[in-house]
């Protein structure tokens, strides 16, 4: 596993490269339920997401996250149907 500071440095470099190539500013969104995300207003459940590490399912190559649909960082409220 890559140490946290090294990973963040790589993420910043990647975002800078994307911004240079596309002309669109990119920001790193912390993983759902992580302390960093919660400080930014994340509503995803921290305990269900192992404090941002996600859940490893057998046979999965990447962790799975529980996302709150109304989370301002990770949710997609466009699919919600509002009924009067």
Q: What percent of the chain shows pLDDT beyond 90?
A: 27
Instruction: Quote the pTM value.
Output: 0.61
Structure confidence at residue 7 as a pLDDT band (50, 70, 90) = low
Q: What angle do CA 13, 14, 18 make, to 5 degrees?
A: 120
Instruction: Name which of 26, 30, 23, 32 is nearest 12 in CA terms.
Output: 26
13 phi, psi to nearest 5 deg:
-65, -40
């Amino acid at each position: 596993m890559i140490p946290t500071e090294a990973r963040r440095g790589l993420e910043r470099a990647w975002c800078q490269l994307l911004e240079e190539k596309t002309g669109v500013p990119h920001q790193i969104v912390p993983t759902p339920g992580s302390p960093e995300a919660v400080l930014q207003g994340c509503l995803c459940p921290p305990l269900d997401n192992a404090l941002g590490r996600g859940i490893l399912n057998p046979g999965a190559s990447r962790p799975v996250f529980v996302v709150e649909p109304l989370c301002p960082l990770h949710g997609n409220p466009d699919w919600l149907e509002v009924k009067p």
